Amino acid sequence: MLIRKPTDIRSSEITDERVYLDRRGFMRAAAGIGAAVAAGASLPGLVAGMAPRPRFSDEEELTPYEAVTGYNNFYEFGTGKEDPARNAGQLVTKPWTISVEGMVEKPATYDVDELIFPYTHEERIYRLRCVEGWSMVIPWLGFSLSNWIDRFRPTSQARYVEFTTLYDPDQMPGQRRSVLDWPYVEGLRLDEANHPLTTVVVGVYGRSLPNQNGAPVRLIMPWKYGFKSIKSIVKIRFTDRQPATSWNVAAPNEYGFYANVNPDVDHPRWSQAKERRIGEFRRRETLMFNGYGDQVAHLYQGMDLRRYF
């Protein structure tokens, strides 16, 4: 697991970020960041509590910042890959609340700051594999969802967690079209949600999360197809029933509840055996559980993964 441990926040470390960007060849990709740092400015949007350290894993090349923030799926802002970057800028993400409901001892409506600031934000470099057949390698900032689950205290009956995205067609023009049953809903089994790889994401590339990537908070489960990684969350509900999730409801034979990356189980309309890493030409083999099998396969022991796809 590629997790960079955070360090204390010191202004000197802002320089480290410049070095980090520079060494990785991202000055071009993140010109705005470089310019701000060079000018001695504090980084606009740098996530409080996060200080990136230039400790690299060169296992895989990171996908450039422009692609991560310019080629997105966020249907609330349109179905084109460039629509979210174009249309999400006006989304108001402050103030923002998240209501915690259902089978928990601590149901409440929390201000997002109360849920973000207490936790240490680590850089976690994960592959993201979209069900459509492309992939990226992204340096997210965040922490394990299990921190929240411990805090909310699900009751012994709770077996699943459901997450809901904001519903606001005035701000999210894509919701005026019935591409999906809005709002966007996703869900996990409680043990999947508690897995340390399941990440609450608050930033990317050392900066706070751009709206098109799901500000102010979204999830990432790197062993699942991208559509499970729900953006701009406003509600978390604990339940004893498997949640009805947006894509599964829209096309149950195409998008399963589990949606674990699996090269052996094709989408009914295309193969899932290969993927195109954004920025590359030749396609790569898709790995079982997106390459995270050592860490997550035990969650599905004994399950027929063709049936529970």
Ligand X SMILES: Nc1nc2c(c(=O)[nH]1)N[C@H]1C(S)=C(S)[C@@H](COP(=O)(O)O)O[C@H]1N2
CA distance 182 to 201: 22
Q: Exposed (0-12), middle (13-18) or buried (19+): which is 189, by Cβ within 10 Å?
A: middle
CA distance 9 to 17: 12
Q: Which does 17 bind (CB under 5 to 8 A by kind): Mo ion, ligand X, none?
A: none
Minimum CB separation of residue 104 from ligand X in Å reads 22
Structure tokens, 32: 């705005």
Structure tokens, 25: 């060849």
- The residue within the footprint of ligand X, chosen from 165, 175, 208, 245 (CB under 6 A), is 165
Q: Which does 229 bind (CB under 5 to 8 A by kind): ligand X, Mo ion, none?
A: ligand X
* C-alpha separations of 184 from 36, 69, 180, 194, 287 in Å: 35, 20, 7, 21, 27
Q: Nearest-CB residue to ligand X? A: 226
Minimum CB separation of residue 268 from ligand X in Å reads 17
Under rule CB under 6 A, residue 290 binds ligand X:
no
Restricted to residues 122-141, the positions that interact with ligand X (CB under 6 A) are: 128, 130
Q: Measured between alpha carbons, how far apart are the two ends of the chain, in Å? A: 24
Restricted to residues 172-191, the positions that interact with ligand X (CB under 6 A) are: 184
- The residue within the footprint of Mo ion, chosen from 6, 139, 206, 226 (CB under 5 A), is 226
- Note whether 148 and 216 are within 8 A (CB): no
At 134, is the secondary structure helix, strand, or coil? strand
Instruction: Note the residue count of the chain.
Output: 309
CA distance 244 to 163: 10
Residues near 61 by beta carbon (within 8 Å), at least 6 away in sequence:
137, 279
- The residue within the footprint of Mo ion, chosen from 143, 227, 258, 292 (CB under 5 A), is 227
Site string for ligand X, 213-232 (x = CB under 6 A): xx-----------xx-xxxx
Minimum CB separation of residue 77 from ligand X in Å reads 8
Restricted to residues 44-73, the positions that interact with ligand X (CB under 6 A) are: 72-73
Under rule CB under 6 A, residue 76 binds ligand X:
yes
Binding segment (CB under 5 A) for Mo ion, from list 63-71, 134-142, 225-233, 292-300:
225-233
Number of other CB atoms surrounding residue 94 within 10 Å: 9
Under rule CB under 5 A, residue 75 binds Mo ion:
no
- Note whether 121 and 141 are within 8 A (CB): yes
- The residue within the footprint of ligand X, chosen from 20, 26, 65, 75 (CB under 6 A), is 75
Minimum CB separation of residue 225 from Mo ion in Å reads 6
Binding residues for ligand X, rule: CB under 6 A, are 72-76, 128, 130, 165, 184, 213-214, 226-227, 229-232
